[in-house]
A and B are shown apart, each in its own frame.
Chain A
């Protein structure tokens, strides 16, 4: 058994069991999901080929459908898709009204609004060409695809778990953000209650006056909840600090300040070519180092520990890889052979599917297979059973 080959097989079998549907359900590290989604978004930003873009959306949607946990925040993918649709619609409409009619295939001609001389180059109305329309469609689709990638990240990665992995010194800001996020749904609940109350009192619950009348009660309710929450957090030990020496406190504050100044100076001189001397990069690096040390020192003040931090293991590494593959492939392809990635619009032509980018995008689908399922996700069988029961009741009714 001590044979290295055997050990290698044992390790790889264990790794296999930690992957995919057979693995114990667990949360995949939210940062890994973000890397994967941003990789896909980077890929989308490099192309206007609608076939590739549609592939990216399909891949994102498939992975969301497979690995979405059952939580309120995980329903945002559809919202982002709708947002993308609006973007495409806007882009096309804009082109219809303000397009300059470049291209040979005129589809129809709108009446043109005459504009004064100083507005030369802008036209409202006029001929609409297939070339322009396709260009607008493809560009809009690229934006929509990037939005879909963000939506996928939002539905797959728990925002609270992401914030929980921030450094200890920033912990309190993280809690504030988490509280704000749980606050939003309750604000919606408050609005519903106030609208209900207006209906019960026989007042109109639509229109500007109704809205004005419901702002105060909703805010009052929100404030009350905030006070209750603050009391509960205080009673549960929020903000307990460990013993810390005065010297440590001062030095961490000073380091943070120096780091911030260094970063500002470095960024400024890197962006502004007129800065004398070559201080940009050194200042940026020194600032970053000072800032990190300062954060680490400040983090020692809190006594807080982390419950079950999400591990960074094989599934996370593979997830990042599957997201980075399309990004790298696409960036490389755009350098070597930019034409194949452009959605052909002048003249309109049948689209080709470049092989390497397509395979790279398909590689991102592995995310839905390699990651462990999220805990507590509704199993398909249960969903089907529920639907069947609903159908039965409906028939009975």
Chain B
């Protein structure tokens, strides 16, 4: 189906190849997962499949990529459009039309299918992906999960034999991610489509994969194998695999179900110390000062006719780490942006450090509260890291070099002349965080911070957030990432349709929730464990 023969890719002006001497063969009807750290060349590998690399991106490709016998050297992407469908990271950026139904038909129109065929396939695709109710909706009005499904549908209508997806679930809430993955499963099982996907949230996808391609980066050779084999030693691994590694289970379980079957003895060993140990470990992590940092009362926020928040009341103290969870569009981002005064409440109040957020501006605002937006790049203005740091010092009136000092603590060793866009996702987040922290706000808000972060970068973020909380910051993060929430949050708030439906300690809220429970708690239920680290600590204590 897809064959890579001794493929190397060098981008123009780069000193090192992104991929070197890759040999691969992907047979028909497999679901293949591409894993690796950020910047290791996963996206490049995916884009080689339909010739976007090098026809579109430039650079030099040596070796040969053949797809169903067509050589990408002689076939530009448009000539492969009928056999390879590719879905980019941000579905919105790839939409050509403005309505769902037209978008589904666009690819077929381009390759010139007969009108009757198009009509039939649009209907089939609407059913296959559960989009029938949305057929006449404008694309801009869709939620993130719906957009992702439309993007998949829009490439599926040309009946490609191969579907390539770059991080299809990283922007989605757990429910929407499951919908997308269920749709992919159906394509693989019922229609025999070959699926190649890259994803950071391995806990969501690894159990569905037939094979895993590990791209180690830095020009190291690519490793191909069964998921269990690769996961034993991969630098990126979901919690279920880490727990398996810790317990030495063989064969390594990849799904919660397999792990639960292997976890009987472990549950027995942990039973006597379950509650106290876990709770003690948590309590030691979070010293809540009792000093109020923010207070929200009966907050109602509307956008035109839509109500985003309906009467939200909450308060948080310094030293707390609060995770705000809920569906896409539940009002998480609105809550955070109201706390920095981007929205004026219709009624109710949002106070940070005792002042109404929407009345603050300039230095008054940034010294009380800081927000790292969903796309950290939005916050950055300069072309070089050192200029960015200097600009940040000036903006908040901090002493010269203070932003750089914070950055060096968060992510050491970033060269001063790098362009912020050339940094890895984790480094860029650190830079944005440093810019926000330079004003020393007691309240720190993060919107979806783990989007695009790999596991090591996520661990680093967790450590950073714990340090900040320990030094008296109040941290609030909106996230879909249940593992992150379980790992770092002292308290979890669940929003649904603009209302708070749950608010309490992480252990109480996420455990037992089918949607928000982390893998470890699902495996070790009914005991209340949240993370692999908790379990490891308890096991050490027990022995």
CB distance from A161 to the nearest CB of B (A): 8
* Chain B residues within 8 Å of A386, by CB: 305
Number of A-B contacts (CB under 8 A): 186
A234 with B395: CB separation less than 8 A = no
Instruction: Pick out which of these stretches binds chain A: B96-104, B186-194, B196-204, B288-296.
Output: B96-104
Distance A242 CA – B375 CA, assembled complex (angstroms): 42
Distance A233 CA – B88 CA, assembled complex (angstroms): 11
**CB-CB nearest in chain A for B114:** A305
- Asked if B456 is at the interface of the complex by the 8 Å CB criterion, the answer is no
* Chain B residues within 8 Å of A234, by CB: 52, 55-56, 76-78
- Asked if B342 is at the interface of the complex by the 8 Å CB criterion, the answer is yes
CB distance from A204 to the nearest CB of B (A): 7
Instruction: Pick out which of these stretches binds chain B: A124-132, A189-197, A286-294.
Output: A189-197
- Asked if A232 is at the interface of the complex by the 8 Å CB criterion, the answer is yes
CB distance from B370 to the nearest CB of A (A): 7
Interface residues in B308-334 by Cβ distance below 8 A to A read 310-311
Instruction: Pick out which of these stretches binds chain B: A106-114, A331-339, A389-397.
Output: A389-397
- Asked if A160 is at the interface of the complex by the 8 Å CB criterion, the answer is yes
A239 with B78: CB separation less than 8 A = yes
A240 with B81: CB separation less than 8 A = yes
Interface residues in B345-370 by Cβ distance below 8 A to A read 347-348, 361-363, 365-366, 370
Cβ-neighbour of A393 out of B82, B85, B307, B363 (below 8 A) = B307
Distance A126 CA – B529 CA, assembled complex (angstroms): 87
Interface residues in A291-344 by Cβ distance below 8 A to B read 302-309
A178 with B97: CB separation less than 8 A = yes
**CB-CB nearest in chain A for B311:** A397
Distance A7 CA – B320 CA, assembled complex (angstroms): 79
Distance A266 CA – B119 CA, assembled complex (angstroms): 44
A390 with B109: CB separation less than 8 A = no
* Chain A residues within 8 Å of B81, by CB: 235-237, 240
* Chain B residues within 8 Å of A202, by CB: 361-363, 365-366, 395-396, 439
Distance A390 CA – B78 CA, assembled complex (angstroms): 48
Instruction: Pick out which of these stretches binds chain B: A28-36, A223-231, A244-252, A274-282.
Output: A223-231
CB distance from B135 to the nearest CB of A (A): 7
**CB-CB nearest in chain B for A390:** B307
* Chain B residues within 8 Å of A193, by CB: 373, 375, 378
A200 with B155: CB separation less than 8 A = no
* Chain B residues within 8 Å of A235, by CB: 50, 52, 77-78, 80-81, 84-86
Q: Known contacts A225-B93, A307-B105; is A397 also within 8 Å of B310 by CB?
A: yes
B96 with A233: CB separation less than 8 A = yes
- Which of A70, A193, A197, A232 has the most chain B CB atoms closer than 10 A to its own CB? A232
* Chain B residues within 8 Å of A353, by CB: none
Interface residues in A96-117 by Cβ distance below 8 A to B read none
Q: How would you classify the secondary structure of chain A's contact residues: helix, strand, loop or mixed?
A: helix
B115 with A307: CB separation less than 8 A = yes
- Which of B80, B111, B439 has the most chain A CB atoms closer than 10 A to its own CB? B111
* Chain A residues within 8 Å of B135, by CB: 375-376
- Asked if A86 is at the interface of the complex by the 8 Å CB criterion, the answer is no
A231 with B56: CB separation less than 8 A = yes
A393 with B311: CB separation less than 8 A = yes
A228 with B88: CB separation less than 8 A = yes
CB distance from A79 to the nearest CB of B (A): 15
CB distance from A353 to the nearest CB of B (A): 38
Q: Known contacts A202-B439, A307-B118, A307-B119; is A197 also within 8 Å of B379 by CB?
A: yes
* Chain B residues within 8 Å of A11, by CB: none
* Chain B residues within 8 Å of A10, by CB: none
A397 with B112: CB separation less than 8 A = no
Q: Known contacts A240-B79, A304-B110, A397-B348; is A72 also within 8 Å of B138 by CB?
A: yes
* Chain A residues within 8 Å of B252, by CB: none
Distance A172 CA – B90 CA, assembled complex (angstroms): 24
- Which of A71, A234, A242 has the most chain B CB atoms closer than 10 A to its own CB? A234
CB distance from B246 to the nearest CB of A (A): 40
A197 with B78: CB separation less than 8 A = no
CB distance from A229 to the nearest CB of B (A): 6
* Chain B residues within 8 Å of A239, by CB: 78, 110
- Asked if A352 is at the interface of the complex by the 8 Å CB criterion, the answer is no
B365 with A197: CB separation less than 8 A = no
Interface residues in B429-454 by Cβ distance below 8 A to A read 435-436, 439
A182 with B98: CB separation less than 8 A = yes
* Chain A residues within 8 Å of B373, by CB: 193, 196-197, 200
CB distance from B172 to the nearest CB of A (A): 19
Q: Known contacts A71-B138, A228-B88; is A200 also within 8 Å of B379 by CB?
A: yes
Distance A175 CA – B96 CA, assembled complex (angstroms): 8
- Which of B96, B361, B396 has the most chain A CB atoms closer than 10 A to its own CB? B96
Distance A232 CA – B96 CA, assembled complex (angstroms): 8
**CB-CB nearest in chain B for A161:** B102
* Chain A residues within 8 Å of B501, by CB: none
**CB-CB nearest in chain B for A226:** B93
B119 with A203: CB separation less than 8 A = no
- Asked if B11 is at the interface of the complex by the 8 Å CB criterion, the answer is no
Interface residues in B45-74 by Cβ distance below 8 A to A read 50, 52, 55-56
Distance A70 CA – B41 CA, assembled complex (angstroms): 42
CB distance from A372 to the nearest CB of B (A): 13
CB distance from B107 to the nearest CB of A (A): 4
**CB-CB nearest in chain A for B87:** A232
Distance A160 CA – B139 CA, assembled complex (angstroms): 13
CB distance from B478 to the nearest CB of A (A): 15
B378 with A197: CB separation less than 8 A = yes
Q: List 26 A-B contacts (CB under 8 A).
A: A193-B375, A194-B378, A196-B373, A199-B342, A200-B366, A202-B396, A202-B439, A204-B362, A228-B88, A228-B93, A229-B93, A229-B96, A231-B56, A231-B77, A232-B93, A232-B95, A235-B52, A235-B77, A236-B96, A236-B106, A237-B81, A239-B110, A240-B111, A305-B112, A306-B115, A397-B300
List chain B positions with a Cβ less than 8 A from chain A.
50, 52, 55-56, 76-82, 84-86, 88, 90, 93-99, 101-102, 105-115, 118-119, 122, 135-138, 140, 154-155, 158, 298, 300, 305, 307, 310-311, 337, 340-342, 347-348, 361-363, 365-366, 370-371, 373, 375, 378-379, 381, 392, 395-396, 435-436, 439
Q: 8 additional contacts, CB 8 Å, given A203-B395, A228-B93, A236-B158? A: A70-B138, A202-B395, A235-B80, A235-B86, A236-B155, A240-B81, A305-B108, A397-B298
In the A-B complex, the 10 residue pairs with the closest CB atoms: A376-B136, A237-B81, A232-B94, A303-B112, A307-B105, A237-B110, A202-B366, A228-B93, A375-B136, A236-B107
